[in-house]
Amino acid sequence: MTGTGMLASASDETLIRKALRGSERAWLKLVRKYERRLYNYCLRMTSKREDALDLMQEIFLCVYRNLPNYHGDGVFPAWLFRIAGNKVVDFYRKRARDPVNQASEWQDDWQSQHATRSDEQAVGDNRLITRLLECLPPEQRLVVELKFFQQFTFEEIAGQMEISANTAKSRLYAALGKLREHEDLSHAM
């Protein structure tokens, strides 16, 4: 079980059941509950706010379409992030075909809107994290995201990515090695 507790899971199940019976309110509640977490996930995966929003919309649409297939046999966030992972892979494939959109576009306008010192520090951390994650290939980036930001276990990550837990660990350590090299290089420059 991850950061989401039993009560939250039960609540998800209730919302999904009601949404499947046609309750728009329950569906919107479910969307609102996860949209912030999912948007920031997409932001770290894409490094672009516009792409993150598009990706999040795609993920929610896919979740909606597949909601009848969710049997409540697992924790909803794990199911949600499995779909999100698939969509992220699709996103990288699309972006690979369109090199013009590969460049990062970390916007600084957010910083000007949030002028307090703590916000500036947070923006700096966000920018640093995004910049470092960009140096990773998609599958390693996804493992880092799921491990450190979503707090999934290796078994859960392995289930979501349809790989073994050992492969997930190997990818994480490979990613960490690459991140360290990148940071050392950045400091040297």
Partner 1 sequence: MRCETVRDLLPDYIDQRYADRPGSAEQHAAVSAHLEDCPECTAQFVQLNRWQQLAGNWKDEPVPDWHRPGLQVRQPARTHWLSFASMATAAAALLLVLFQVHFRVDDQGLHVAFGSDQASAQLQRQMDEFQLEQTAYLDARLLDLEQQNRGLLVAFFQSQQQQRQQDMGQLVNYWQSQRIYDQTLDQAKFGLLADKQQQSQRQLRQLLNTRYPETSTEEQL
97 or 112: whose CB is closer to partner 1?
Answer: 112
Tokens found for residue 150:
């979503």
Q: How far is the CB of 49 from partner 1 (least distance, A)?
A: 7
C-alpha 179/C-alpha 168 separation (Å) is 16
Q: How far is the CB of 96 from partner 1 (least distance, A)?
A: 26
Q: How far is the CB of 9 from partner 1 (least distance, A)?
A: 19
DSSP 8-state assignment for residue 134 = T
10 or 20: whose CB is closer to partner 1?
Answer: 20
Q: How far is the CB of 46 from partner 1 (least distance, A)?
A: 13
39 or 86: whose CB is closer to partner 1?
Answer: 39
Q: Look at residues 46, 87, 47 and name the one whose alpha carbon lies nearest to residue 66.
A: 87
95 or 169: whose CB is closer to partner 1?
Answer: 169
Interface with partner 1 by CB under 8 A: which residues? 19-24, 27-28, 31-32, 35-37, 39-40, 43-44, 49, 53, 56-57, 60-61, 64, 110, 119, 122-123, 125-126, 128-129, 144, 147-149, 153-154, 169, 172-173, 176-177, 179-180
36 or 94: whose CB is closer to partner 1?
Answer: 36
Q: Residues 6 or more apart from 173 whose CB is under 8 A from it? A: none
Q: Look at residues 117, 148, 120 and name the one whose alpha carbon lies nearest to residue 132.
A: 148
Q: How far is CA 98 from CA 78, 101, 102, 107, in A?
A: 30, 6, 7, 21
- Spell 13-43 as b/e; 16+ CB within 10 A means b: eebbebbeeeeeebbebbbebbeebbbebbb
Q: How far is the CB of 182 from partner 1 (least distance, A)?
A: 12
